[in-house]
Amino acid sequence: MTDQGGADSMDTGDTVLTIDAGAQGDSVDVDGVEVIDPLAEKATMELKTKALQDPQVLAALQDHLDNLVGQRSGYIESLPKVVKRRVKALKNYQVKYTQMEAKFYEEVHQLECKYAKMYEALFEKRKDVVTGAVEPTDSDCEWDSSDDEEEETDEKVNALAGDLKEKAKLEEDKDEESPSGIPDFWLTILRNVEILSDMIQDHDEPILNHLEDVRVKFHEGSQMGFTLEFHFSANDFFTNAVLTKSYQMRSEPDENDPFSFEGPEIISSSGCTIDWKKGKNVTMKVIKKKQKHKGKGTTRMITKTVQNDSFFNFFSPPKGPEEGAEVDEETESLLSADFEIGHFIRERIIPRAVLYFTGEAIEDDEYEEEGEEEDAEGEEGDEEDENDPDFDPSKDGGKPQECKTQ
């Protein structure tokens, strides 16, 4: 029924509920019975939908959710004291494990020192062949590959065909003086590796043409570390025969944060002084700038020496902070990049130089990076499933994978 004021009434027997059509969004509670205006409910839903389409609202919501990531659930804090006591015992066991792990890495370093001496003979042979000091024997050069087989097949075909021009060309090639060793061996390697290629400028290449060998020397004794040695032939740029870069390492847990230990880490690096010949220092450049006198209005030309981009800045690394001192973001980024490059040269370039020269090792690195990216994507997917309130592990693709030891 409808009264004169435009209000709707419902007769429920003993109770009459009246809803004022002009009061949308309000609910009426009579004797514990709540009646909501359907028009008001619809308007509320439309408002929520519109709000969720607003980029600013979504951004604010995302920021709020991001702030919740990594926060404690409160489960550990809610444990009984007797259980917390046992957890403390496990943490003490973990610290002891970390201390033993540090000793393990120290012994690994000692093994590296031992085997580095055994590798020296092979690296010396490599240097002799690269520089042309020694010609490898026929047995040293025996290597089965599809490329060699294709070359042999082509030679047989040419011989059978009796191609006089080809024969003449072969004779000319024999008469020509063959290059000594393997030209630009190390420069090619540096150019093939992205993080090293980015460091090389055009004015560096004539100098790096003289790079004959790169070695690593491990530091023996209590202080872990290693030194990279870059051996150069006589050149017109500097008098040094060897340029060095040393890295100091640490393999012990931090007393204030023992659980952050993940193995040996580089803590500092030091370069060497390059004895540049006059006018040949590629790490510095002279710039000319006009300077105007404020009072007289006259101008003069001044020269200023500033740092120049160069591969050889590698031997003048940024100084790390004093112990306990804070480091700014730029310096931290430079130090991190320097440590990464030094570690990469030691672990990858020096042991597998020929494979970086041919490009085979680069392909292997790319496959490894792709595998890591796929693993990361898989982990993100797993997290999304676990965060889904409707996710049921028992219904997700059958049996779980077995753990495998490597």
Domain boundaries, the chain: 83-138+180-255+262-372
Q: What would the mean pLDDT of 178-189 be, rounded to a whole number?
A: 94
pLDDT over 50 at 40, yes or no? yes
pTM to 2 decimal places: 0.66
Q: Does residue 189 contact residue 357 with C-beta atoms inside 8 Å? A: yes
pLDDT over 70 at 146, yes or no? no
Q: What would the mean pLDDT of 62-87 be, rounded to a whole number?
A: 79
pLDDT over 70 at 141, yes or no? yes
Higher pLDDT, 291 or 164: 291
Return the pLDDT at 181: 94
> What digits encode the pLDDT tens for the residues 224-280?
899 999 999 999 999 999 999 999 988 888 888 888 888 888 889 999 999 999 999
What does the block give as tokens for 224? 């872990």
Q: Does residue 331 contact residue 321 with C-beta atoms inside 8 Å? A: yes
Q: What would the mean pLDDT of 81-105 be, rounded to a whole number?
A: 92
Q: Quickly name the fold that domain 83-138+180-255+262-372 has.
A: Arylsulfatase, C-terminal domain (3.30.1120)
Return the pLDDT at 207: 98
In this prediction, what percent of the chain has a pLDDT beyond 90?
Answer: 41
pLDDT over 60 at 135, yes or no? yes
Report residue 34's pLDDT band, with 50, 70 and 90 as the boundaries: low
Q: Does residue 131 contact residue 212 with C-beta atoms inside 8 Å? A: yes
Of 57-66, 170-179, 218-227, 370-379, the one with minimum mean pLDDT is 370-379
pLDDT over 50 at 9, yes or no? no
User: Which of 250, 271, 272, 270 lies closest to 262 in space, CA to CA?
Assistant: 250
